[in-house]
C-alpha cells in the first residue's frame, strides 16, 4: 500500500551524544531510564542490556548520591549505548560524572545556583564534548514562574529560556531541551512554542504519564502529535512499568508514523464471524515477532470477510476459517492449517525467508 505520511522534520542543530547525533534530521532516538539504584552496578547493567536488546538507544540513570555517581564508570564500561547522568542540584556530582565518562548530563544549570560552580561544570563539559539536556518539568518550576503563569506552556518555555541563557552566556551550545508535563495539551503547546523559539534538539515526553495502558495512550497522543508536526529529535515514553515496555511503546509510536520501519502485526478486532481464537493467535504472533527484522507486516485476520484483502497487502498472513486458517505469503495462499498449528506453520514460512 502507498504510504500517505511524509513528515517534514523541523530543522534543529546537531548535538553529539556518544556515537549518536541528535537533531539535524537524524533518526529520532529512543531513550529510557533505569529503575534500580544506580550504585547497584550489576542490576543497572542488566537492565540496560535488556533495554538495549529491546531497541533503547540512549539510557539515563539517576544519581541522587555520591555512590551512584561513582558507579557510572563501571556501568559505562559494560554497556554499548550512550549513558546519561541525571543530576539535579549537586555541581560536584556533575563534575564527577564527566570524569566517570558519561556521554551526556541531564542538568538544569539554574538549579545549581552559584555562578562559579555553574561555570566550572560548563567548562568541563565543553572540554570533554559532553552535551547538557535542560529538562524542565511542570512539577519543579521556579516559584516566580508558578506565581506569574502557573504550570502553563509559557512558564515551561520561560524556564527553559533562563537555563539556556545561562549556558549560552558561557558560550555553551551543546544543548538538548525537554519541557515535560503530565497535561497532554499543555505538553503539546509547550513543545510547539519551544520549537519556534529554540533550534536545539527537543527530547519529547509526557511526564508521569501513568501505568502501562494509560501512559502509552497519553504518550502516543502527546509525543505522536508533535512528531507528526515534525517536532522532536528524541523521545522517552515514561511509564510506571518495566522500562522495556517504554521502549516497545516508543518504537510503536515511531512505526505508526512511518518514522521508523519495524515489524507490524495487523490484527482484526474479531467479531461473531470468527471461528478461531483470533486474539490468542495475534498475541502469540506479536510475541514471537519481536526478534524478526523489519520492515515486515504480518496480518492476523479472524475470517474471510476482510482477511484476504489485508492478507494481500501483508508480507505474511493468517485468515481464519472453521477451526482452521489459511496461511498467506506475499499475498498468495500457501496452505490450510489446523488452528493449533497455525502460528508454528506461519513462522516456518517467515523463517524460510529471514
Give which of 41, 44, 43, 18 is closest to 29, Cα–Cα.
Answer: 18
Give which of 346, 211, 320 is closest to 268, Cα–Cα.
Answer: 320
Question: Count residues contacting ligand SF4 (CB under 6 A)?
Answer: 12
Helices (H), the chain: 41-54, 66-70, 72-77, 91-99, 115-127, 143-149, 153-169, 184-197, 212-228, 243-256, 278-289, 307-313, 342-352
Instruction: Please report how close the Cβ of residue 136 comes to ligand SF4 at its closest, in angstroms.
Output: 45
Give which of 212, 208, 262, 201 is closest to 235, Cα–Cα.
Answer: 201
Is-contact 245 32, C-beta < 8 A? no
Distance CA 122, CA 104 (A): 12
- The residue (of 156 and 327) whose beta carbon lies closer to ligand SF4 is 327
Residues 243-302 that bind ligand SF4 (CB under 6 A): 268-271, 273-274, 301-302
- The residue (of 129 and 273) whose beta carbon lies closer to ligand SF4 is 273
Instruction: Please report how close the Cβ of residue 89 comes to ligand SF4 at its closest, in angstroms.
Output: 54
Distance CA 330, CA 140 (A): 53
Q: Which stretch binds ligand SF4 (CB under 6 A): 10-18, 46-54, 246-254, 303-311?
A: 303-311
- The residue (of 110 and 325) whose beta carbon lies closer to ligand SF4 is 325
- The residue (of 130 and 268) whose beta carbon lies closer to ligand SF4 is 268
- The residue (of 232 and 325) whose beta carbon lies closer to ligand SF4 is 325
Instruction: Please report how close the Cβ of residue 19 comes to ligand SF4 at its closest, in angstroms.
Output: 45
Instruction: Please report how close the Cβ of residue 299 comes to ligand SF4 at its closest, in angstroms.
Output: 10
Residue from 306, 312, 324, 349 that binds ligand SF4 (CB under 6 A)?
A: 306
Is-contact 155 145, C-beta < 8 A? yes
- The residue (of 222 and 302) whose beta carbon lies closer to ligand SF4 is 302
Distance CA 263, CA 313 (A): 14
Instruction: Please report how close the Cβ of residue 97 comes to ligand SF4 at its closest, in angstroms.
Output: 53
Residue from 190, 303, 327, 329 that binds ligand SF4 (CB under 6 A)?
A: 303
- 305 lies in the binding site for ligand SF4 (CB under 6 A): yes
Instruction: Please report how close the Cβ of residue 51 comes to ligand SF4 at its closest, in angstroms.
Output: 35
Contact string (CB under 6 A) for ligand SF4, positions 97-116, x = contact: --------------------
Handedness of CA 306, 311, 317, 321 (dihedral sign): positive
Instruction: Please report how close the Cβ of residue 328 comes to ligand SF4 at its closest, in angstroms.
Output: 14
- The residue (of 253 and 342) whose beta carbon lies closer to ligand SF4 is 342
Dihedral angle of Cα 65, 66, 68, 70, to the nearest 10 degrees: 180
Is-contact 215 237, C-beta < 8 A? yes
Beta bridge partners of 320: 325
Instruction: Please report how close the Cβ of residue 79 comes to ligand SF4 at its closest, in angstroms.
Output: 43
Please state, as a whole number, how many other Cβ atoms lie within 10 Å of the Cβ of residue 69: 25
Distance CA 266, CA 283 (A): 11
- The residue (of 62 and 327) whose beta carbon lies closer to ligand SF4 is 327
Contact positions toward ligand SF4, by CB under 6 A? 268-271, 273-274, 301-303, 305-307
Amino acid at each position: 500500500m502507498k504510504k500517505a505520511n511524509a513528515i517534514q522534520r523541523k530543522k534543529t542543530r546537531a548535538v553529539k551524544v556518544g556515537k549518536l547525533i541528535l537533531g539535524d534530521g537524524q533518526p529520532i532516538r529512543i531513550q529510557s531510564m533505569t529503575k534500580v539504584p544506580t550504585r547497584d552496578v550489576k542490576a543497572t547493567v542488566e537492565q540496560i542490556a535488556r533495554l538495549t536488546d529491546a531497541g533503547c538507544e540512549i539510557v539515563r540513570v539517576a544519581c541522587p548520591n555520591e555512590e551512584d555517581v561513582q558507579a557510572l564508570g563501571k556501568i559505562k564500561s559494560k554497556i554499548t549505548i550512550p549513558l546519561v547522568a541525571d543530576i539535579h542540584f549537586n555541581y560536584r556530582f556533575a563534575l564527577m560524572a564527566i570524569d566517570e565518562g558519561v556521554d551526556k548530563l541531564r542538568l538544569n544549570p539554574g538549579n545549581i545556583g552559584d555562578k562559579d560552580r555553574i561555570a566550572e561544570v560548563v567548562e568541563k563539559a565543553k572540554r570533554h564534548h559532553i552535551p547538557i539536556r535542560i529538562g524542565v518539568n511542570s512539577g519543579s518550576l521556579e516559584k516566580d514562574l508558578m506565581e506569574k503563569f502557573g504550570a502553563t506552556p509559557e512558564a515551561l518555555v520561560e524556564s527553559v529560556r533562563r537555563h539556556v541563557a545561562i549556558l549560552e552566556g558561557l558560550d555553551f551550545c551543546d544543548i538538548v531541551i525537554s519541557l515535560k508535563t503530565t497535561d497532554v495539551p499543555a505538553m503539546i503547546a509547550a513543545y510547539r512554542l519551544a520549537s519556534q523559539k529554540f533550534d536545539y534538539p527537543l527530547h519529547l515526553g509526557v511526564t508521569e504519564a501513568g501505568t502501562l495502558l494509560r501512559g502509552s495512550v497519553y504518550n502516543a497522543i502527546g509525543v505522536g502529535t508533535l512528531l507528526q508536526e515534525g517536532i522532536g529529535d528524541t523521545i522517552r515514553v515514561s511509564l510506571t512499568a518495566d522500562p522495556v515496555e517504554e521502549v516497545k511503546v516508543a518504537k510503536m509510536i515511531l512505526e505508526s508514523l512511518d518514522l521508523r520501519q519495524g515489524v507490524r502485526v495487523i490484527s482484526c478486532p474479531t467479531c461473531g464471524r470468527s471461528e478461531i481464537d483470533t486474539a490468542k493467535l495475534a498475541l502469540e504472533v506479536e510475541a514471537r515477532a519481536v526478534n524478526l527484522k523489519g520492515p515486515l507486516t504480518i496480518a492476523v485476520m479472524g475470517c474471510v470477510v476482510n482477511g484476504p484483502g489485508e492478507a494481500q497487502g501483508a508480507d505474511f498472513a493468517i485468515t481464519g476459517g472453521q477451526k482452521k486458517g489459511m496461511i498467506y505469503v506475499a499475498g498468495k495462499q500457501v496452505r490450510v492449517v489446523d488452528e493449533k498449528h497455525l502460528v508454528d506453520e506461519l513462522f516456518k514460512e517467515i523463517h524460510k525467508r529471514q
